[in-house]
Chains A and B, each alone.
Chain A
Protein backbone atom coordinates (compact mmCIF):
# COMPACT_ATOMS: atom_id res chain seq x y z
CA UNK A 1 0.00 0.00 0.00
CA UNK A 2 1.01 3.62 -0.14
CA UNK A 3 0.99 6.47 2.39
CA UNK A 4 0.83 10.08 1.32
CA UNK A 5 3.48 12.49 2.58
CA UNK A 6 2.21 16.05 2.34
CA UNK A 7 5.17 17.58 0.50
CA UNK A 8 6.79 17.37 -2.92
CA UNK A 9 9.97 15.31 -3.42
CA UNK A 10 11.57 18.54 -4.69
CA UNK A 11 10.11 22.02 -4.06
CA UNK A 12 8.31 23.97 -6.79
CA UNK A 13 7.69 27.70 -6.32
CA UNK A 14 6.89 29.40 -9.63
CA UNK A 15 6.07 33.08 -9.32
CA UNK A 16 5.43 33.99 -12.98
CA UNK A 17 2.66 32.10 -14.84
CA UNK A 18 3.49 30.98 -18.38
CA UNK A 19 0.70 28.98 -20.07
CA UNK A 20 2.71 28.39 -23.26
CA UNK A 21 5.46 26.61 -21.33
CA UNK A 22 2.76 24.72 -19.39
CA UNK A 23 1.58 23.14 -22.67
CA UNK A 24 5.15 21.85 -23.22
CA UNK A 25 5.79 20.56 -19.71
CA UNK A 26 2.41 18.79 -19.37
CA UNK A 27 3.80 16.16 -21.75
CA UNK A 28 5.83 14.84 -18.82
CA UNK A 29 2.55 14.32 -16.93
CA UNK A 30 0.63 12.27 -19.50
CA UNK A 31 2.77 12.19 -22.65
CA UNK A 32 4.53 9.23 -24.32
CA UNK A 33 7.61 9.46 -22.05
CA UNK A 34 5.92 11.06 -19.05
CA UNK A 35 5.80 10.24 -15.37
CA UNK A 36 2.36 8.61 -15.48
CA UNK A 37 3.61 6.00 -17.94
CA UNK A 38 6.80 5.60 -15.91
CA UNK A 39 5.06 4.91 -12.60
CA UNK A 40 2.48 2.55 -14.14
CA UNK A 41 5.20 0.72 -16.11
CA UNK A 42 7.41 -0.10 -13.12
CA UNK A 43 4.63 -0.80 -10.64
CA UNK A 44 2.92 -3.12 -13.17
CA UNK A 45 6.10 -4.97 -14.15
CA UNK A 46 6.88 -6.03 -10.56
CA UNK A 47 4.59 -9.06 -10.57
CA UNK A 48 6.56 -10.94 -13.23
CA UNK A 49 9.95 -10.11 -11.72
CA UNK A 50 11.60 -13.18 -10.12
CA UNK A 51 14.63 -11.54 -8.45
CA UNK A 52 14.44 -9.76 -5.09
CA UNK A 53 16.75 -6.87 -6.04
CA UNK A 54 14.62 -6.11 -9.10
CA UNK A 55 11.29 -6.43 -7.26
CA UNK A 56 12.56 -3.89 -4.74
CA UNK A 57 13.95 -1.55 -7.40
CA UNK A 58 10.73 -1.53 -9.47
CA UNK A 59 8.74 -0.82 -6.30
CA UNK A 60 11.01 2.01 -5.13
CA UNK A 61 11.52 3.67 -8.53
CA UNK A 62 7.80 3.25 -9.35
CA UNK A 63 7.01 5.00 -6.07
CA UNK A 64 9.47 7.81 -6.83
CA UNK A 65 7.84 8.25 -10.25
CA UNK A 66 4.51 8.91 -8.51
CA UNK A 67 6.27 11.73 -6.66
CA UNK A 68 7.62 13.02 -9.98
CA UNK A 69 4.10 12.93 -11.41
CA UNK A 70 3.06 15.24 -8.58
CA UNK A 71 6.01 17.58 -9.24
CA UNK A 72 5.14 17.89 -12.95
CA UNK A 73 1.46 18.49 -12.15
CA UNK A 74 2.51 21.17 -9.67
CA UNK A 75 4.66 22.93 -12.28
CA UNK A 76 1.77 22.94 -14.79
CA UNK A 77 -0.67 24.11 -12.09
CA UNK A 78 1.56 26.98 -10.98
CA UNK A 79 2.27 28.02 -14.59
CA UNK A 80 -1.47 28.37 -15.29
CA UNK A 81 -2.59 30.24 -12.16
CA UNK A 82 -4.50 33.53 -12.37
CA UNK A 83 -4.72 33.61 -16.17
CA UNK A 84 -6.84 36.16 -18.00
CA UNK A 85 -8.86 35.06 -21.08
CA UNK A 86 -6.53 37.25 -23.17
CA UNK A 87 -3.46 35.37 -21.90
CA UNK A 88 -5.17 32.06 -22.69
CA UNK A 89 -5.78 33.06 -26.30
CA UNK A 90 -2.40 34.70 -26.92
CA UNK A 91 -0.30 31.90 -25.35
CA UNK A 92 -1.66 28.99 -27.37
CA UNK A 93 -3.14 27.46 -24.19
CA UNK A 94 -6.65 27.87 -25.68
CA UNK A 95 -7.28 24.32 -26.96
CA UNK A 96 -6.39 22.80 -23.55
CA UNK A 97 -8.35 25.49 -21.69
CA UNK A 98 -11.51 24.83 -23.68
CA UNK A 99 -11.58 21.16 -22.58
CA UNK A 100 -10.05 21.35 -19.08
CA UNK A 101 -10.02 25.04 -17.99
CA UNK A 102 -6.87 24.97 -15.80
CA UNK A 103 -7.46 21.49 -14.37
CA UNK A 104 -4.69 18.89 -14.61
CA UNK A 105 -5.34 16.14 -17.18
CA UNK A 106 -2.89 13.63 -18.70
CA UNK A 107 -2.09 14.41 -22.31
CA UNK A 108 0.98 14.86 -24.51
CA UNK A 109 2.23 18.30 -25.54
CA UNK A 110 0.52 17.73 -28.88
CA UNK A 111 -2.86 17.00 -27.23
CA UNK A 112 -2.85 13.18 -27.55
CA UNK A 113 -4.49 11.71 -24.42
CA UNK A 114 -2.57 9.34 -22.15
CA UNK A 115 -3.16 5.67 -22.79
CA UNK A 116 -1.64 2.44 -21.50
CA UNK A 117 0.15 1.84 -24.83
CA UNK A 118 2.73 4.41 -23.68
CA UNK A 119 4.34 1.53 -21.75
CA UNK A 120 4.70 -2.22 -21.85
CA UNK A 121 4.54 -4.90 -19.20
CA UNK A 122 5.75 -7.93 -21.11
CA UNK A 123 6.02 -10.51 -18.35
CA UNK A 124 9.67 -11.12 -19.27
CA UNK A 125 12.28 -9.55 -16.94
CA UNK A 126 14.91 -9.02 -19.65
CA UNK A 127 12.43 -7.42 -22.05
CA UNK A 128 10.94 -5.24 -19.30
CA UNK A 129 14.29 -4.03 -17.92
CA UNK A 130 15.58 -3.12 -21.40
CA UNK A 131 12.35 -1.14 -21.92
CA UNK A 132 12.88 0.54 -18.55
CA UNK A 133 16.39 1.68 -19.50
CA UNK A 134 15.08 3.08 -22.80
CA UNK A 135 12.20 4.79 -21.00
CA UNK A 136 14.58 6.61 -18.67
CA UNK A 137 16.62 7.85 -21.64
CA UNK A 138 13.47 8.98 -23.51
CA UNK A 139 12.31 10.91 -20.48
CA UNK A 140 15.79 12.43 -20.10
CA UNK A 141 15.71 13.57 -23.75
CA UNK A 142 12.29 15.13 -23.20
CA UNK A 143 13.56 17.05 -20.16
CA UNK A 144 16.54 18.17 -22.27
CA UNK A 145 14.10 19.42 -24.94
CA UNK A 146 12.14 21.30 -22.27
CA UNK A 147 15.33 22.83 -20.77
CA UNK A 148 16.35 24.21 -24.19
CA UNK A 149 13.19 26.31 -24.46
CA UNK A 150 12.77 27.62 -20.91
CA UNK A 151 14.67 30.44 -19.22
CA UNK A 152 12.77 31.01 -15.96
CA UNK A 153 15.00 29.67 -13.13
CA UNK A 154 11.89 28.85 -11.08
CA UNK A 155 10.97 26.28 -13.77
CA UNK A 156 14.51 25.15 -14.73
CA UNK A 157 15.39 24.15 -11.18
CA UNK A 158 12.81 21.35 -10.62
CA UNK A 159 13.10 20.23 -14.27
CA UNK A 160 16.87 19.78 -13.79
CA UNK A 161 16.19 17.70 -10.68
CA UNK A 162 13.79 15.45 -12.64
CA UNK A 163 16.31 15.11 -15.47
CA UNK A 164 19.03 14.00 -13.05
CA UNK A 165 16.76 11.35 -11.57
CA UNK A 166 16.24 9.84 -15.05
CA UNK A 167 20.03 9.35 -15.25
CA UNK A 168 20.20 7.71 -11.81
CA UNK A 169 17.26 5.42 -12.61
CA UNK A 170 18.89 4.42 -15.93
CA UNK A 171 22.01 3.43 -14.01
CA UNK A 172 20.04 1.40 -11.45
CA UNK A 173 18.00 -0.38 -14.16
CA UNK A 174 21.27 -1.25 -15.92
CA UNK A 175 22.44 -2.88 -12.69
CA UNK A 176 19.10 -4.71 -12.39
CA UNK A 177 19.54 -6.07 -15.92
CA UNK A 178 23.04 -7.29 -15.01
CA UNK A 179 21.67 -9.01 -11.89
CA UNK A 180 18.95 -10.63 -14.01
CA UNK A 181 21.47 -11.87 -16.58
CA UNK A 182 23.74 -13.17 -13.79
CA UNK A 183 20.81 -15.32 -12.66
CA UNK A 184 20.64 -17.06 -16.04
CA UNK A 185 22.58 -20.33 -16.18
CA UNK A 186 23.97 -22.83 -18.63
CA UNK A 187 20.49 -24.26 -19.17
CA UNK A 188 19.27 -20.84 -20.30
CA UNK A 189 22.11 -19.04 -22.01
CA UNK A 190 19.79 -18.04 -24.84
CA UNK A 191 17.91 -15.89 -22.30
CA UNK A 192 14.45 -17.38 -22.62
CA UNK A 193 11.95 -15.74 -20.30
CA UNK A 194 13.19 -16.61 -16.79
CA UNK A 195 9.83 -15.59 -15.38
CA UNK A 196 7.66 -17.97 -17.45
CA UNK A 197 9.77 -20.70 -19.01
CA UNK A 198 11.47 -21.74 -15.77
CA UNK A 199 8.91 -23.32 -13.45
CA UNK A 200 9.38 -22.96 -9.72
CA UNK A 201 7.29 -24.76 -7.10
CA UNK A 202 5.59 -22.58 -4.48
Chain B
Protein backbone atom coordinates (compact mmCIF):
# COMPACT_ATOMS: atom_id res chain seq x y z
CA UNK B 1 0.00 0.00 0.00
CA UNK B 2 1.22 3.50 -0.83
CA UNK B 3 1.34 5.30 2.53
CA UNK B 4 1.20 8.80 1.00
CA UNK B 5 -1.82 8.34 -1.24
CA UNK B 6 -4.35 10.97 -2.26
CA UNK B 7 -6.76 9.36 0.17
CA UNK B 8 -4.37 10.06 3.04
CA UNK B 9 -4.27 13.72 2.03
CA UNK B 10 -8.06 13.88 1.76
CA UNK B 11 -8.45 12.10 5.11
CA UNK B 12 -6.10 14.62 6.71
CA UNK B 13 -8.47 17.39 5.62
CA UNK B 14 -11.34 15.46 7.23
CA UNK B 15 -9.35 15.18 10.48
CA UNK B 16 -8.45 18.89 10.55
CA UNK B 17 -11.87 20.29 9.70
CA UNK B 18 -13.73 17.80 11.91
CA UNK B 19 -11.57 18.68 14.89
CA UNK B 20 -12.27 22.37 14.39
CA UNK B 21 -15.99 21.56 14.49
CA UNK B 22 -15.63 19.31 17.57
CA UNK B 23 -13.79 22.04 19.47
CA UNK B 24 -16.04 24.99 18.63
CA UNK B 25 -19.17 22.91 19.38
CA UNK B 26 -18.06 22.50 23.01
CA UNK B 27 -17.30 26.22 23.24
CA UNK B 28 -20.72 27.12 21.82
CA UNK B 29 -22.42 24.80 24.33
CA UNK B 30 -21.24 27.08 27.14
CA UNK B 31 -21.18 30.33 25.08
CA UNK B 32 -24.33 30.03 22.93
CA UNK B 33 -24.57 33.82 22.39
CA UNK B 34 -21.01 34.30 21.06
CA UNK B 35 -21.63 35.47 17.48
CA UNK B 36 -17.96 35.23 16.45
CA UNK B 37 -17.88 31.59 17.58
CA UNK B 38 -21.11 30.90 15.70
CA UNK B 39 -19.62 32.41 12.52
CA UNK B 40 -16.51 30.25 12.97
CA UNK B 41 -18.76 27.20 13.44
CA UNK B 42 -20.48 27.86 10.09
CA UNK B 43 -17.09 28.39 8.43
CA UNK B 44 -15.51 25.14 9.66
CA UNK B 45 -18.70 23.07 9.36
CA UNK B 46 -18.81 23.98 5.66
CA UNK B 47 -15.12 23.06 5.24
CA UNK B 48 -15.76 19.74 6.96
CA UNK B 49 -18.76 18.98 4.75
CA UNK B 50 -16.65 19.58 1.63
CA UNK B 51 -13.73 17.53 2.99
CA UNK B 52 -16.01 14.59 3.84
CA UNK B 53 -17.63 14.71 0.39
CA UNK B 54 -14.25 14.83 -1.35
CA UNK B 55 -12.96 11.88 0.68
CA UNK B 56 -16.06 9.76 0.20
CA UNK B 57 -16.17 10.32 -3.57
CA UNK B 58 -12.61 9.18 -4.08
CA UNK B 59 -11.83 6.82 -1.20
CA UNK B 60 -14.98 5.18 0.11
CA UNK B 61 -17.67 5.72 2.72
CA UNK B 62 -17.07 7.27 6.13
CA UNK B 63 -20.70 6.65 7.11
CA UNK B 64 -22.73 3.55 6.30
CA UNK B 65 -25.37 5.62 4.48
CA UNK B 66 -22.73 7.03 2.13
CA UNK B 67 -21.84 3.97 0.05
CA UNK B 68 -21.61 5.19 -3.56
CA UNK B 69 -20.45 2.11 -5.50
CA UNK B 70 -23.47 0.48 -7.17
CA UNK B 71 -21.75 -2.88 -7.55
CA UNK B 72 -19.84 -3.30 -4.33
CA UNK B 73 -20.57 -3.01 -0.60
CA UNK B 74 -17.58 -0.71 -0.05
CA UNK B 75 -18.43 -0.12 3.65
CA UNK B 76 -16.37 -3.24 4.36
CA UNK B 77 -13.27 -2.20 2.48
CA UNK B 78 -10.07 -2.00 4.55
CA UNK B 79 -8.52 -0.38 6.42
CA UNK B 80 -10.71 0.06 9.48
CA UNK B 81 -9.71 2.96 11.73
CA UNK B 82 -7.80 0.88 14.28
CA UNK B 83 -5.71 -0.80 11.58
CA UNK B 84 -3.75 2.34 10.71
CA UNK B 85 -2.87 3.71 7.30
CA UNK B 86 -0.12 1.18 6.80
CA UNK B 87 -1.81 -1.65 8.71
Contacts and interface: CB of A to CB of B under 8 A. Distances in A.
Interface of A: 3-15, 53, 56-57, 60-61, 64, 70, 73-74, 77-78, 168-169, 172, 175-176, 179
Contacts of B80: 6
- Chain A interface mostly: helix
A70 B80 CA distance: 12
B62 A6 contact: yes
Contacts, number: 70
Interface string B48-87: 0000000000000111100000000001000011101111
Chain B's interface: helix, strand, loop or mixed, by majority?
Answer: helix
A169 B22 CA distance: 12
Counting chain B residues whose Cβ lies within 8 A of the other chain, the interface size class is: 20 to 34
Contacts of A4: 63-64
B80 to A, nearest CB: 7
Contacts of B14: 7
A172 B82 contact: no
A61 B26 contact: yes
B29 interface: yes
Contacts of B27: 172
B39 to A, nearest CB: 19
B75 to A, nearest CB: 8
A78 B87 CA distance: 9
A10 B15 contact: yes
Contacts of B25: 60
